[in-house]
Each structure stands twice: as structure tokens, then as C-alpha cells.
Amino acid sequence: MKIIIRITSLVLLFMVCFSFAEYNKPAKKTAASKTSPPSTGTPYYSTDEIIKIRIYSQLKATALMFAPTNGIYEVQADGRTILKLDSKGLLKISWSGDSIEIKTTENNLGRCKSLKIISDDIENGFKLRLLSPDKKPRFYDGNLSVNVEEKILRLVNQTKMDHYIAGVSEAEAGKRSTLEFYKVQAILARTYALGHIQKHVADGYNLCDQVHCQVFYGKTTDHDILEAVKITKGQVVVDQDLQLISAVFHSNSGGQTANSEDVWGTSTSYLRSVKDSFCLKMPNARWERKMATEDWLSYLKIRYKYPVEDSLAKSFALNFKQEHRKSNIEYAGLKIPLKNVRTDFQLKSTFFSINPQGDTLIFKGRGFGHGIGMCQEGAMCMTKSGYSYKDVLSFYYQKVHLIDIKEMNFFKEN
């Protein structure tokens, strides 16, 4: 393995720090001149749409292996370059007290508080394998930084926005979908990412890799997904006031999407209920759940003081029906929010009707998820029937516009 140990001068350290300071600023095309690569061959950090994602954010990572898949990576411990790694190189990184321990297969390189592993080209990539907890390897583009956070290692991937969006599209939409559907998913992933770019800034990164933000398992090599991201480059969805929309979606609407206020309490101009026949033949269109009549009635009585002793009220509660989506079970002025019923019984959706059968109730439900915004299975069917990604977006989000992010002057420097 080729190892180049290098003592860094104060000048180099200064330039590295300078590069990071520039790198942390919001990207702006016209700012490129301020971030030209230093002529000394030190790493260059493009400010062009780079995003920082905390990876493995739900796990308590304490040891991992890092290996470049292509290009040369510079290993910087507390700002000092200690090693250069090529694709034959391997680094073992582990948590050790309040420090990070760094080893190659041959040498122990010592400890540091902050580790950055940076390529001179953000297009290069690396393989990461968590050893503790033990996980299958994942592949990422761009750079990696490692810091100690209490008793674990905090891993942050710095990558190009488009690589991140491609990874999210695969994680959210899966493989074997249509190019047109991937365009929809790419635009929604971009809209969400830019709309929440500050979400974790106080923690030192932009977004995490879990459902709290958007699921991201690293790079994708799927041709259609990469193509979809390229074709839709820069496109985002905005509302009538040119604000980035809250690009929410769910698995299956069951034939009708929900108004945002019926689930979340807040009315949003573009999150309106629409009749949706596109997803009706999909796997998540229908569900069933059995429940003891007694359990249902005691729940209503205890939680909502529902008058179960009243025969009319009781009959109403045992035969509740929804032809169209309702937001409450409503009897004589008493309202029981369906979103609470869904949460309390962990039902697939709020869109259900009740049919009594002896001592048992059959909850016959439609759809899967909160029902707001785009129905993923419906959108997929639309694209398979020849509808374009623009048709899909305007069907599920009302009165929205697709615009290029540059038009919003989004990356405006402070």
C-alpha cells in the first residue's frame, strides 16, 4: 500500500481552514471566483451545491473501515495532513475515549479529535463499512468527516446535491420504477432538501439520513435514476407565493388524498384533497383489521367520554362509514379525530369503515399513510399510463409551479 506521510506547514493548514470556511458558505455560482483552487495542490472544495449529510445517524457507530473506490484521498487529523490514500488503501477508524483512533493495515497513525478524509475531486467516491455495529458496506461520493459525539463517532458525508438527490430517489422509490416517476421523486427530494437545508445546521450538517429528513443509503448506480436527476437538474416545486412546497407524499391514498388540515391541523393551499383512481389496483389500496366490539366501545368511552350506553350512539360507532374521507367520527357534536384513532390502533390509514360481525368489528380500510400530497403508488401508475412528471406533480399538488432553483436566487450569500 502506498503511503505518503506529509508534515503540513502552517501555510497549508491556513489554506485548508480557508477552504473549509468557503466550503461551508451557501453555494453561489457567481462566488466561484472566491473559491478558486489554491495553486499549491491543496484540496479544492467546490461551493457548487454541496450538501452535508449525517450518515448512519440512527446508529451508535464506534468503529468503521474507509476505503477509496477511486481517486486519491487526503487524511487530515485535526487539520494536519497525515496520509494520502489511493484505491488500494484502507483506513480503520475507531472511537477511543474522547478521541478518534486511526490505523492503516500496517500502522497505528495515532489519535485526533477531528478527522477529515477529502478527495481533490468531489466526484470521487469511497466505500464505508461499519464494524461496530456490524453492517454491510455502503458506497458514497465525496468526502467524509468524523467527530466524537459523546461515546460515538459522528459521520458526515459531504457530497454534491445531485448525488445526494439520486441516492434519496432510490431509497424512497426503490428500484425497477419508471424514468418518469424517478423525475418526480428527484424533484421532490430536491425541493425538500433545499427547503430544509438549515434543519441540522446547529448540529454541524444540513440533513440526517433518516426519515426525520430524507432516507439516504449512499450513492446509486441506477442509470434511470441518474438520468432523471440530470434531466430535472435544478427543478423545484413552488407554491403561488414562490415558496418551496412541503413536498410530502405517502404510499397509497386509497382513492382520495387528504386535506392537510384534516390530519395536521394546518390548511396549506397546495395540499388539497383530490379524487385519485390511479392507485386503486395497487397493493396498499385496501386493508382489513379485526377488533373486539368491546375494545372499541371501551376505547371511545374512556378516551372520549363517548355515550356508548345510548343505543343510537352505540349503533353509530359500530357502523361508522366513510365513502369520502372524513376527518372525525362525529356524533351529536362530539368529535373524535380519525388521526388519533389511526395512531392509537396503529391503523394503515384514517380512511376506513366499520362493519360489525358478531362480537367482532371488521375495519375495512383504504390506502396506506397520512394521505397528504402525492400518492406514490398512484404517481407510479400515472407514469406507466403515459402521464408526464409534470402531470403527476400538478395532479397531487394544486396550483404549484416548477421552476429552476437559480430563478429563486436561493443560494444568496448573506
Residues within the interface to Zn ion (CB under 5 A): 208, 212-213
Could you tell me which residues come within 8 angstroms of residue 152 by beta carbon, excluding any fewer than 6 positions away? 60, 61, 62, 95
- From the list 79, 84, 138, 67, the residue with the least C-alpha distance to 112 is 79
Q: Which is nearer to Zn ion, 212 or 303 (CB)?
A: 212
If the CB atoms of residues 213 and 282 are measured against Zn ion, the closer one turns out to be 213
- By beta-carbon proximity to Zn ion, the closer residue of 28 and 52 is 52
| DSSP conformation class of 203 | G
CB of residue 146 to Zn ion, shortest distance in Å: 19
Minimum gap (Å) between residue 95 Cβ and Zn ion: 22
List 81's β-bridge partners, or say none. Answer: 76
Packing angle, helices 179-195 and 376-384, rounded to 10: 140
Instruction: In angstroms, give the least distance from the CB of 149 to Zn ion.
Output: 15
Q: Are residues 126 and 140 in contact, defined by beta-carbon separation less than 8 angstroms?
A: yes
Nearer to Zn ion, 77 or 213 (CB): 213
DSSP output for 4-56: ---PPPHHHHHHHHHHHHHHHSPP-GGGGGGGPPPTTS------SSEEEEEES
Closest separation between CB of residue 200 and Zn ion, Å? 6
Q: Which is nearer to Zn ion, 212 or 384 (CB)?
A: 212
Residue 405 near residue 234, CB atoms below 8 Å: yes
- Radius of gyration (C-alpha) of the chain in whole angstroms: 26
Residue 52 or 286: the one with the smaller Cβ distance to Zn ion is: 52
CB of 137 vs Zn ion, minimal distance in Å: 23
Q: Which three cell numbers stand for residue 207?
A: 440533513
Nearer to Zn ion (CB atom), residue 187 or residue 208: 208
Question: Which CB sits closer to Zn ion, 217 or 304?
Answer: 217
CA distance 345 to 328: 15
Taking the complex as a whole, the smallest distance from the CB of residue 91 to Zn ion amounts, in Å, to 27
Query: Which residues make beta-bridge pairs with 292?
Result: 360
Q: Are 185 and 229 in contact (CB under 8 A)?
A: no
Strand intervals (E) in 123-180: 125-132, 138-141, 143-149, 152-160
Helices (H) and strands (E) counted in the chain, each on its own, are 10, 22
CB of 109 to Zn ion, least distance (A): 32
Q: Which is nearer to Zn ion, 154 or 183 (CB)?
A: 154
Smallest distance from Zn ion to CB 210, Å: 6
Helical ranges in 266-337 per DSSP H = 293-304, 311-318
For the bound state, the minimum distance from the C-beta of residue 196 to Zn ion, rounded and expressed in Å, comes to 8
Residue-level length of the chain? 414
Q: How far is the CB of 90 from Zn ion (least distance, A)?
A: 30
Cβ proximity to Zn ion, 209 vs 262, nearer residue: 209
- What SS3 class is residue 410? coil
